[in-house]
Structure 1
Amino acid sequence: MSKQLSKVEIDGWEALAYDSIMKLISGFSYDRFIGKVVDDLNIKPNDAVLDLGCGTAKNLCLIAKYTTALCVGFDTSRNMIRQAKKRCKDRNVKIFYQDIRKPHPFYDMFDVVFISFVLHGFIDRERDLIIKNAYNSLKKGGRFCVLDYNEFDLKSQNPFVKAVFKYGECPLASEFIGLNLKDKLSLFGFDNFEEHYYYSGYVRLLIGEK
């Protein structure tokens, strides 16, 4: 995948400052926002959780507070992985260097697979590989939870939203918001969908069951 197209695979100083960047971009609302998302995930006390593209594991460590089962994070940014391991060293969390597009040894192990603002940064063929991996990672009845941009027509949005997608996001994000993600997940065997919306509906948590 072209690095020029995607902005989800980051390293260097951006990875080291990622949490601070997210706070600034969200107008310092990120902590409250992700807390609400985790509540909506409805994690059970014995749920094993996999986070695809876990970054600094800020989200995963919060999720891990709700379960005593194993929580696993995958990422390919070594700077983020170092921060993740430091943050979660005293919890039931394991972090691995793993490309989320490729097969891994943890299939059929998880009750929840979570992916946050990652799927929009891949071309469609690679999204399919990630979704297939998520499906294979879940136990029967497990839930795939996708937190990302909702579907909307960018041309009809206000200048601020247009500017965010033109200057702050990758071209793949503009394509992603035109994708019927529920239909795509259905092709891989997910159903019984549940949806939650944030930031005036521009962001959605879509949950599909295996």
Structure 2
Amino acid sequence: MSKMDFSKIATEYEEYATVQKSASEILLKLLKIRTNDDVLDLGCGTGHLTRKIRSLSNGNVVGVDPSEGMMREAIEKSKGLEIVYEIKSAEDIDYVESFDVIFCNSAFQWFKDPEKVIKNCYRALKRNGRIGIQAPAKKIYCPNFIEAVEMVKRDERTKEIFSHFKEPWFFLETAEEYKSLFEKCGFKVVFSKIETITTEHTPEDVLKIFSSGAIAGYLNQDYYNIKLTANYISVFKEIVRKAFEYQAKKGMVKLKFNRIFLIAVKE
């Protein structure tokens, strides 16, 4: 396999990012998936982007995710596309020189042992293979969400139970820290940048975005050492919904996310 030229990647990133594209679309373009590439979608969820990857490559396409529910949906929606799905965590993948590309979109923050995952990915890639990640970054990964959750933290109805919440996410504060982590595991990092991406949405849509990801942490019994009550869950959602309504100006919320974009190569 010929070695890819990444010398223009920073310029290309700026080009892609100026267009109104989603973070996942930017990551796909930066990875330059070719028609014969074998690709692993790590943290594939319901397979929406795995199916997109299949449209770009005739090689082997594999999706991995620990959620049985998401895997069922992914398999159902991918019938006839020759995509292999496996239910396992990123910490447990054991492929050896099997892929040209590893695509990891908005999943890195959930990994319990990021260093082990990166080493697993290094082993899974062929020589000159590349990995791309896009994920929320920095402790204040989304000021809108943090502001809403601060209201939960202070509210008399929720503050006692919330005080027992332990954040499950992995965030680093700088692109250099992410770069160093991947280099420690043997990769050559060719691009690493934290970007603040701002999009506009109705409060209802912001709530949907919150509910599609972050809420899986904030309202997950696994991350509390005290029993969650139905009332707590209900009031939590109410507070967050009102917070997003309060953030709206002329009916729209400017939703800000800090995101890491990183491309690394196994030389």
Question: TM-score scaled by structure 2?
Answer: 0.57
2:147 corresponds in structure 1 to 163
Q: Which runs of 5+ in 2 are unaligned?
A: 1-19, 153-164, 199-256
Matched residue type, 2:42: L
Q: Which runs of 5+ in 1 are unaligned?
A: 1-29
2:103 corresponds in structure 1 to 114
Residue 140 of structure 1 pairs with residue 136 of structure 2:
no
**Residue 75 and residue 164 in structure 1: after superposition, are their counterparts in 2 closer, same or farther (change >3 A)?**
farther
CA distance in 1, matches of 2:33, 2:145: 32
Within 5 Å, which residues of 2 pair with 1:1-210? 32-104=22-94, 106-123=95-112, 126-150=113-137, 152=138, 154=140, 160=144, 162-163=146-147, 171-173=167-169, 176-178=171-173, 180-195=177-192, 197=195, 199-200=197-198, 202-210=258-266
Seq. identity, % = 24
Q: Give the CA deviation at 1:172.
A: 4.0
Runs (4 or more) in structure 1 with deviation over 6 Å come to none
CA distance in 2, matches of 1:55, 1:158: 21
**Residue 192 and residue 75 in structure 1: after superposition, are their counterparts in 2 closer, same or farther (change >3 A)?**
closer
Give the number of equivalent residue pairs: 173
Query: What's the RMSD between the two structures over aligned residues?
Result: 2.9
Matched residue type, 2:72: R
Q: Give the CA deviation at 1:135.
A: 0.6
Contact 2:68 2:87 in 1 (8 A): yes
Q: Give the CA deviation at 1:65.
A: 0.8
Whose radius of gyration is greater, 1 or 2? 2
Question: TM-score scaled by structure 1?
Answer: 0.71
CA distance in 2, matches of 1:158, 1:128: 24
